[in-house]
Chain A
Amino acid sequence: MRPVLLGSMSPESLMEELQAAPSRALAARRLSELGMPTRKSEAYRYFEIDPLMDHDWERVEISATSEIEETQRRIVITDGVVTALPADVEVQVGCSDAIDLDGAHFDPLYYLGHLMSREVISLRFRKDARVTIVHRCTQPAKLLAYRTAIYVDANVHVQISERYEGENACGALILSGHDAFVSRDATLTLVKDQTLRIGDYTPIFSHRIKVDSQASCRLHSFDFGAGSGLQLIKAELHEHARIDADHLLYAKDHARRGTVSQIVHIGQSSVSNQRAKNILVEKARGIFDALIKVEHSGKETKAHQNSKAILLNDGAYMASKPQLEIYIDDLEASHGSTTGQLDEAQLFYLRSRGIAKDEARKMLILAFANELIDALEDDALREDLHRSFEEAYWGTTNVTCMETCHGCEDLAAETAAK
């Protein structure tokens, strides 16, 4: 299948060509309105999408659900199929072809992903929970499309951490993502470590997050990956809803990775706070193309957005486009973007105390990244990500307690005092 050929089809022929479920009629209509992405598409203007759309992909067949393993706190999705479920977490997992699609998503591949997924893996949380989702891909050089829907019921507080493994999936294209529904007064904390631990494929994660009245969503994405990859996020905020989105990117070599997002304030007194930090090495290109839109109805909202990038080599490049689109004047908003090198004065200060240049650079880079890693409330996840970042940056990890944990210092000092 060459996605580019779908670009000019009518909704009816799209449905037929992709053998889509009847409930996907809206997706077909929207995809045919938006057209397939090209380098001229808004959403993909900094990403090299053409070769992927022009490629003749063999699709991964989604097999019927096989045997499901029991785990502790982990949901494993292998090649688009749930293969393991936690025995100890209350989550209702199912497959369904019914899905309440976002009729105004900006990303054509959100709709293509839905058209290609006959069923959606749905996770419904009726009680507070903490769970890890592991995504595994094992099919090299193929196109895999699958979608997940996350429902967090009213007043429920859920933390999901996600990891990705591409065991043998070199050269694959993955179209996936969540439709997340955070109901009234609920909280969803989504910690995505997009770094691929094994293998190499191109992920395009296209998410839609609906945050209901007085609900809140914390999204922490970490991407220390190689190659190409993009996450596209559309979030809508209702009355008194809140989203805090942090994105930490470390990219090297010829990587082209980043975030394209739209946060839409629909309800009044909603709050959004988006922070991106990007560290780019060698010839890497980082993308932060993010729009915050405040509708007429979004009175008294607060919208803050900031992107910072450090370029460690001349060849590195950051495409940073924070934007605000505002239809009212009764709000508090800010946005900013900085791109630069490591601070020379800081570097000199450390070196003037006898710390070698490489070590001093490393300390400053970690310090830059730490702000977003330290924002994680879960101690174990924070440690994991410190380690993951160190491994990506340094090749090995030598995180010691003192770097990450202030509690230990006091403990050490108390022991010493005795």
Chain B
Amino acid sequence: MSRVVMDIDNLHARIGGKEILKGLNLQLEEGKVHAIMGPNGAGKSTLSKAITGHYDIEVLDGEIRYKGQNIVDWEPEDRALEGIFLSFQNPVEVPGVNNAYFLRTAVNAKRKHQGLPELNAAEFLREMKKLVQELGMKPEMISRSLNEGFSGGEKKRNEILQMMMLQPDVIILDEIDSGLDIDALRAVSEGINKMKDGKRSFLVITHYSRILDYIEPDYIHVLKDGKIIKTAGPELVAELEEKGYGAIEEA
């Protein structure tokens, strides 16, 4: 087993007054791709919110140890600066905030945190334009308001763009594949694969096997009723597709 970069231990978390995560255990290994599958409402997005410090989540018990520290009380921006990134299931629209300005602010906040000099507008835009092209996004996305009026697929590509610019260490992708057409799925998967460097870890939340064909997970975890009830290799996907989640519980 590789080194564990994030160790989630007995996590109990409440959202809107209701306990959703009920003693969840999960270890993310360095350089590995972990896929999480599970029925609607099982708590997958809740887990991603708990890891990133979303305001809706109240952690009742348990720990999220990341790079050796328990981060459950950390501010969201500190988690991000330390390398945690979430691609949202439903990215919000932020009218009036220019996409490029937003992303440059984020990139420079991270660079400052790392003790690196800030990128100037030209350096930043050169990089951003290159990635926008690679991801098959329209160039006008650069100067539009953040996610405002973006189609579902455009929003997802914009999440991947942010991921590629921010170069995080732990990447959570919450249904990155939903609503993507075939070309977008390929472009997004290629973007993700390019980020694999043997050190970065991925947590891919999905309902479909297709994206997993592209990005080849090392582990499949089944999340049901607030817990990880099974962990196995990629061969589990076929079994799930055939039998559904009901069979897993009986196993």
A positions within 8 Å CB-CB of B: 343-346, 348-357, 359-360, 363-364, 366-368, 370-371, 400-403, 406, 408-410, 412-413, 415-417
Contacts and interface: CB of A to CB of B under 8 A. Distances in A.
B98 interface: yes
A406 to B, nearest CB: 4
B50 interface: no
Interface string B80-107: 1100001010011011111011111110
B190 interface: no
Given A354-B109, A413-B126, 12 more contacts: A353-B162, A357-B75, A363-B97, A366-B96, A367-B145, A368-B96, A370-B96, A400-B121, A402-B121, A409-B100, A413-B129, A416-B125
Nearest to A374: B96
B52 interface: yes
Contacts of A349: 88, 91-92, 94
Contacts of B234: none
B109 A367 contact: no
B76 A352 contact: yes
Interface in B87-145: 88, 91-92, 94-98, 100-106, 109-110, 113, 121-123, 125-126, 129, 142-143, 145
Contacts of B106: 350, 353-355
A222 B125 CA distance: 33
Contacts of B113: 354
Secondary structure of the A contact surface, majority rule: helix
Contact of B105 (A352, A359, A367, A412): A359
A357 to B, nearest CB: 7
Nearest to A401: B121
Contact of A364 (B88, B97, B123, B166): B97
A358 B124 CA distance: 23
Contacts of B55: 344, 348
Given A344-B55, A402-B98, A406-B98, A355 B105 contact: yes
Nearest to B146: A349
A344 B94 CA distance: 11
Interface of B: 52-55, 75-77, 79-81, 86, 88, 91-92, 94-98, 100-106, 109-110, 113, 121-123, 125-126, 129, 142-143, 145, 162, 166
B143 A354 contact: no
Interface centre among B76, B79, B100, B113 (most CB of A within 10 A): B76
Contact of B86 (A345, A352, A402, A416): A352
Nearest to B125: A413
A417 B97 contact: no
A408 B121 CA distance: 9
13 contacts: A344-B55, A350-B94, A352-B53, A353-B109, A355-B109, A363-B97, A363-B102, A402-B98, A409-B125, A409-B143, A413-B129, A415-B122, A417-B129
Contacts of B129: 413, 417
Nearest to B54: A348
A400 B166 CA distance: 22
